[in-house]
Copies of this chain bind each other. A is one copy, B any other.
């Protein structure tokens, strides 16, 4: 947690309504930090439907393994999240820590360990002392309350400079439901997923397989389209829970993701996911500028996304943005290195509304002054038209600054 809040932070936090069927509590278990909360308990009054997507790392953390294993049961009663230690690459000790934490949480909530989900974020490779949770989870379960979203978001922060919350409401067949989410993440952020934890909860009544389909589809253009530093965490976790409390208002349980009654819910869910994902980028370590990279005219949407990520992850593009330098030559370089089909003589490139290159060379009407003005903005749109097909994609990233190097050159100490 940094003393200085990102200049890209939202000006205010969303007012987060209570989600019926969910209570939360935080505690200072002393995992790593002093004088701050570092553990979050989410408690569901009744079994909630659950869905999750996780890191594609070949070396996932122990909590990721634990969640993947429990997900087949489809039911959640509690979630325990800690910051300060990722419990990743901790071998047999890591597994023992997840088992002990789950056991403590299950006892506190009066449920099975298969109904518990876990996430840890922080340093990799240090053993996590799970006995510290055992002492606090009982009290947390008793004290847990519904109106606690901002505190929850604060407890899971690591190098984040602000807590990340988002909320939307939707209509399912005449019944209003709410979707709330929190996220953390600022570095080790790259698709699939990001060094990123996010927990989204709705009071809608939706079966677990439908919930999983909604989440798997929603993650593509949101959390899997943001990158800070191209580094993929061992711990990335995005979970979606449905308490089903809206059944009390007459909402009939939805069993399938393609149910037309879910149209509005899908839109609202994707809006929450995008809101949270962009907040993660806006808190990118050392970030001073937000960059939206849009690629059009690629051979396919997948090709467009790969080209967009090649641009968004290029250190030379990101340092140019930091320096407010409209160096579109580096954008060409990044298109060329992506490996996707491109013809340099068909490329067109825009910074903001200014077309800087067209037909393989500098735009004849290119204005250095106009482009420089764009580069001085806090939010910068880079657009590249490949000129070959119909594929499009947008990804979001931030600039690469000296502060990123400072933050990450001295993280453990």
Contact = CB atoms under 8 A, between A and B. Distances in A.
Interface stretch (A9-17, A206-214, A229-237, A258-266): A229-237
Given A328-B125, A405-B405, A342 B229 contact: no
A316 interface: yes
A156 interface: no
Given A59-B335, A123-B329, A409 B92 contact: no
Given A405-B401, A411-B320, A232 B58 contact: no
A315 interface: yes
Contact of A58 (B322, B339, B357, B411): B339
A126 interface: yes
Residue of A58, A229, A343 ringed by the most chain B CB atoms within 10 A: A58
Nearest to A362: B125
Given A125-B332, A125-B362, A327-B411, 16 more contacts: A58-B342, A58-B343, A59-B335, A59-B347, A88-B329, A90-B360, A124-B329, A126-B362, A229-B315, A229-B316, A232-B336, A234-B333, A315-B400, A319-B405, A319-B408, A402-B406
30 contacts: A57-B336, A58-B342, A59-B332, A88-B329, A89-B329, A89-B332, A89-B344, A89-B347, A89-B361, A91-B345, A92-B360, A94-B361, A126-B329, A187-B316, A188-B316, A229-B315, A229-B316, A230-B314, A230-B315, A231-B333, A234-B332, A316-B408, A319-B405, A320-B408, A320-B411, A323-B411, A325-B412, A327-B411, A402-B402, A405-B405
Interface of A: 55-60, 86, 88-94, 123-127, 187-188, 190, 229-234, 313-316, 319-320, 322-323, 325, 327-330, 332-345, 347, 357, 359-362, 400-402, 404-406, 408-413
